[in-house]
Structure 1
């Protein structure tokens, strides 16, 4: 072999023996071996407390009829981020960015919506004497059978279950027997006023609002007074009524109708 070839081949082998093994940048076990290579940060899990604060932030921001309907999506989630990070319940916790809140909410919303359907199915299959715990167990079993995974966000469902969007349309058998026709629960959400109504209320001056309230009270009192007068006139014998009383009675009857 030519001496120059042997020298070249030996130089290549020397370089190969001194080179470092390849580094898997995507591996969570990667070490910092040079200024350009950093060990990836582990994804921080959401705690139960964080989920509850996030749900509270979303519900309160959504229920503002002016802000939630007339702002860009980014602004909406920016407000949720501010609400979330300023919560005293998360004092000492690391803050979350709005994009993290949005991503987490997407998962919570999807999973809770699935479980609502499972819970409704469990209520329909509820046998006589079964308790709410029995219904919950059956709902979890249905969820697992349908989606091949356990439902781990029950704390989120309990926060959202009485909101209009996630409220179940079924009732436990015990309540159905006691109440008969469907009874509106005190915990159910009262639908917030629309955007136009809220704006109109804000534009009204305090004096105008007070005047309208007084007028409404006076109208109610006037109606009650007329009803009492009519009741007294109807209780009298028609033959004993004067022409004026007959005319008044007919007028009040006409107004009531």
Structure 2
């Protein structure tokens, strides 16, 4: 029946039967399969009873309106939104100060490690029993002057 209507309207045979069989009960396309006599026009006729409020006008189908599923792009957009709300300015400032304090502590720790390594190197040069090479003696003098200044 439907294929005959399509042929009469479009003058060609309906070639997407396999797709229609898959999609005809899909929620998005259920509204398209209703017959034309059940669907009312979207335009309202002006009656003598225009005193009715627009809130009392019901949907054209007479049954509950079916909600359409979320589209692919809308679902992706929803998935990419941040889960939590934006932090307030005070919270951001507090986090920034905490990170700044951590950074300062790490820098001080790194400087302490460097001086400790230099002290160990100087100790190893001072305690060395055999004669020092030119490079070792120059390094020893440099480290001693650094610690004294």
TM-based fold match above 0.5:
no
TM-score (norm 1): 0.20
